[in-house]
Structure 1
């Protein structure tokens, strides 16, 4: 059963297993323009059923968290501080699972904190957003402009969202609901991810890490996910025929099952 609560101004969704286990808690971190809601219908119930206590926060200015009126001033460091707040509230170091911008936040969190494991899902690479921005601008210039419109609160229609986030057949009701919950993202945070606050690789803790990407992702292309894996000296799993929003593609259980298999291999 899904529970929602406010922790120091942050919206936190929790989905717990029916029986208490000794498995580590999972903390899910959403990407840009989204909120903790993106995990609640798929990955969280799937992994809670496998025995993992699952939690997802909405970063400040997102979803039901405080700070939406100042969204443009929030930095990546602010978002990292939000993860620290919720991790401290959990009372136990969680396994971090970050999607897109959330994966970048996970990497920044590891500069000062250790965790049992960290999964980067279609994550912004440690080298930042510049390469993906140029790739999108040259490969899909109209989509590049449409996404930039979101920054000023001008939301695209469902067809633009479909092209940006999905590759396979998707449920139209889900697509409309996703569009309805989208929101502007902080310009400051996006600049941080572009060049001004990239991960300090020598300073990072290196827990067990999982690197996942999607073959048809137009926002964080597979070659950049592969570059992330090469940076950390790790293998990478690229899911065929999927787009950026692997949490809601029709074949999302394949991604969740891969995550579950990796979690089983973490040291107690």
Structure 2
């Protein structure tokens, strides 16, 4: 894939978008709006990403077999719940209709040197949702160190992740190109079909294009597709729609 214009980048980013509402004040009406916004005149987002308590409501709106998938978050955002609680949260989300599970690792334990805690959490949640896409959130802005981001990526991949994801969007530093580089290198080294999801701080087509170019330069041509790459964002859709409708593209910026 080679993008030649902001419009092409916008169209492609739309197909890779996990349109997100993880606001504390989210309610049923906001979920209905999100489901509607995910289906645009220019095509559909890949998924919506929402709190577990809204999964059943979203499934009722979208029905079964819809092109827009339903992703939800577990062990979110702190990454510090007991494994048994996260497993139950996961099972309930799948029962309610979630297609995809975005799991926060116990990143503070990883920072303290407890790698086994990461493995145990990911393996347990993987077993609880064997048919679901499992995206594992590293919270790279808290891990900070590139070697630790790389090691977290390796542990998540080895324990059964389908995707590795940068961030919750709930801390001061979320997706960065530096973290993305470490994670993509870990994916490449694994020689497995693992996806990558940058999340938080991606609000313009220009932002998105930087990540698309990095991923393609690291992973090679034809790697980028919804089964291997997603954006986690709430405001990116506004700029995508603006570009696709003919408005000037915004410059790269920050903000979830």
TM-score bracket relative to the smaller structure: 0.3 to 0.5
- Calculate the TM-score normalised by the size of structure 2: 0.35
